[in-house]
Structure formats: structure tokens, C-alpha cells
Structure 1
């Protein structure tokens, strides 16, 4: 932990969607460490409660809340955003970590049922969180919408057609939100920003323990991802908005 940066997000209210997985847990910890109020959501109530408790215990006095939200339902997403703003007076960020992966050995073996699932997990949830949070984020003086994406969106491989296409669609949707923020900012430039953090894939300690001989070349550790997420608020909205922040080599 860098003591100089402690409290850099003091008073910021940041929502994290898909908060119960390894990346979500690391992000909750880092944002709480930086002094943010963190509103976490996930579809898995038990895993979410564990993640919220871990972040609270790691940082005594940190405000970390958990909501079981169905992000496949637009109204549920809107109600979640409204609840955060009502409870804490503002919303300064939405970190979109809802993930999922399906793939095949070859292009010919692609199962379109994988597309049906990934379209919901990777595109529909982005549509709903962005529509629900756009206005609250525009009301903030430091609003940030952050999509975590994959390098495969820019360079799809044969067995990852459904996954890469889903990620590419989510990126395009996020860039459209960025354009909305740009237009709302007028001549002064945007005060809120939408951006994409790109990884090859994510790795965490439990995965390394499961596969001790794996190299995980080019993978991003979830702790490094969390660090990069927290760091986005330190940059001006104009610099961040509509951009991809590469945490792995560009393909």
C-alpha cells in the first residue's frame, strides 16, 4: 500500500457491479483503502456478503454496502443507482466487472448458445448499468464509468468468436456513453468520463495455487487491476473519456 495515496478517493461514492468475484474483491479492498464509500452489487448474495465483509474488515471504518441486484433487468439497475444517490448523496463511479467466458476449440465448433449467454452477461448488463448511471455520474464533478474489457475484442481468435464479439459490442456501447459525456460537457469539456480498461485475462492467488506450473504470461493480477481502477480518478475526465487504458500489450 502506498501511504502517500491513502485517502485519494476520500468521500467519493463508487458502485461496483459484479463485485463478488476475485477482481471485484480486490477492487472493493482498494477503493475502501483509498477512502471511497463503496456500493457493491452482484447476483450471488452469499459471495457478495463475503466480499463486502472482507473489505469492511480490512479497512476499519470503511463504508462498504452490498446489494443483490439483477443487472439483466433495467428497472433493477435504475433502482440501485437511485438508492445509492439517495443514501449517499452522490454517485462518482460505476466499475463494471460483470464477466463470463465461453469458447470452443475451433471456429466451426462455436455453439451459439454461448452467444446467448454472453450477450446477456457482457452486453446487456453494460447497457443497463450505463443507462441507469449516466445521469447520476453527470451530476458528479468526478464521475467515471469503467468497463473492464479484453484484448480479444480487438483481435478475436477462432474459438472466441462469441466472447470477443460480446466484448467488442460492450466497448462500442461504452464509447457511445463517453460521447454523451463529451456532449454534456460542452466547450468546457466533460466533467464525467467513460473509459475501458483492457486486459488479456485476469489472474489471482487462488488460480496460481490451483495451477502452480502455469506461466499466465501477459495476464493482469486482480490487485494490479484494482490499482489501475482507483488511479483513473486521479486523471482529468478529458484525458480519460472515450479512451482505452491498456494493462496488457496491444494486439
Structure 2
């Protein structure tokens, strides 16, 4: 990897440049912290400027002024997403990862109560943003010399959806299929040499964070993955070769 441009003393991701989509939420904030601790230059985006600034500042100052920046990007707009990817590569010379943490949930009491307006919302949040980021970052990830990683966080419920969760589970399943198609493109691009980058899916039952525990101190959250554990799994995708990871589902909760 290229020489780092940071003040956090290096780490396993020293010199890497990683983009985080949905960086302002609890999972995004945890990912910024973990990536910065590992030595990466991190570029986050979010639709909410207040929570993005809070997440960026927390990661930057937790690690001695680490190179963590944020930008408001409309990921529903393909050209805006492409321009974001182009700016990152122009400014930093490379892109070694795109972490997709754009989330959202809609559900119903039963299958028959499903509101198709929820599908429209989830289609944009969970599918369209995956389509746009993958299309925008594919080429740069392939140029990163085997270090490129596209990481999607998905839900265990896609394998066994409930009636009231139809829209959410279907949207997550579509996002998974799209990510696996990106993995196929990486394999084709690499030929006999192996994929130049990896598309990987991290599967959780659900996520939990400190604020959720504070709101419900009696809650057990069985099978949930803490956002800090998710962040560790994200940084860990660079510990294994692209050929081994590409097109795989990595379960962070008991597999269904």
C-alpha cells in the first residue's frame, strides 16, 4: 500500500483509503473509529450533516488527529456517487474499500398489512445505494492491487423471512444478489490470477449499540451484533486474500 498520511502511528491498514457510506449512524461511527485505529485514511458520507460531523470528529480525535473526513453525498444519485468516488481517488491516489452501512427498516404486523410505500423507501435505502456505490467504486477497487473490498452488511432474516418483514427481507436479499454479482465481475476481471478485489457480505441478526442498551437496560438482545464487533469484522476483511473472501457471506450470528 501507499505510505500513510496520518498521525495515528500506523496499523494493519496503514496506507489504505477506505470510504464508508452511511458513516453517521451508530454502525458507521463505530466503523470510522475502528478503521482509523487500524491506520486507514477514512472518507465517510451521510445524508445527515450533524451526525456525520459528530462521527467524524469522534474518530479523528480518538486517534490523535487521524485522517478522517466526511462529506454529504446523495447516494440516490448515481452521478453524485460517481463524483464522490472520483474525488476520493484523485485526492488520495487510491481506494481500498467501500463499506456500505446505509440502513433502514420498515415492517408490518402481518403479510397482508404490508404497505408497499415501505418497499419504495427500502428500495432506495437498501438497494439503490448499493447499486450506485458498487457501480461508482468498482474500477477503483480493482485498481487497488488485490486490496479492494466492497462490504455489505445484511440480515439473517433474508434466509427465513417472516410475513410482516417481507419488504425489508426482500430488499436485503436483492442487495445481497447485487453484491454477489459484483463479486462475479471481480472474478471475471482477474481471470486466472484471481479477483483483484473482493465483494463480501457480513450477515447479522440485528445490530445493538450503547444507546439502545441505555434505553432498554433490561433488554437481552439475543443474537444481536454489537456495532463495535461489526466494526472489528469490517477491518478484518483485509486479513484474508481477495480470492478467499470474494462472493462470500460471513456470518456474525448463528447461521440459519
Q: After superposition, what is the alpha-carbon deviation per residue over 1:48-103, rounded to whole angstroms, capped at 9, x for unaligned?
A: 01100000010013100101000000001000000000000000000000000000
The answer on 1:60 being equivalent to 2:64 is yes
Alignment counterpart, residue 128 of structure 1, candidates 107, 111, 132:
132
Q: Secondary structure at the match of 1:234?
A: coil
Shift of 1:136: 0.5
Give the aligned partner of residue 174 of structure 1.
179
Count of residues paired in the alignment: 246
User: In the TM superposition, what is the alpha-carbon distance from 1:191 to its structure 2 partner?
Assistant: 2.1
**d(CA) in 2 for partners of 1:155 and 1:232?**
26
Name the CA distance, whole Å, in 1 between partners of 2:196 and 2:14: 18
Separation of aligned partners in 1, 2:125 and 2:196: 29
- Residue 161 of structure 1 corresponds to 166
1:86 pairs with one of 85, 90, 96: 90
- Measure the CA separation in 2 of the matches of 1:66 and 1:170: 24
SS in 1 for 2:71: strand
- Where in structure 2 are the equivalents of 1:1-251 lying within 5 Å? 7-141=11-145, 142-251=147-256
Task: Measure, in 1, the Cα distance between the counterparts of 2:39 and 2:52.
Answer: 20
| TM-score (normalised: structure 1) | 0.97
3-state SS of the aligned residue for 1:39?
A: strand
Off by >2 Å, runs of 4+ in structure 1: none
**Please, what TM-score do these two structures have when normalized by structure 2?**
0.95
Q: CA deviation at 1:214?
A: 1.2
- CA distance in 1: counterparts of 2:196 and 2:160, whole angstroms: 31
Q: CA deviation at 1:155?
A: 1.1
Q: CA RMSD in A?
A: 0.7
Distance (whole Å) between structure 1 residues aligned to residue 101 and residue 245 of structure 2: 18
Instruction: Please give the per-residue CA displacement for 1:144-166, whole angstroms capped at 9, x wherever unaligned.
Output: 00000000111111110000000
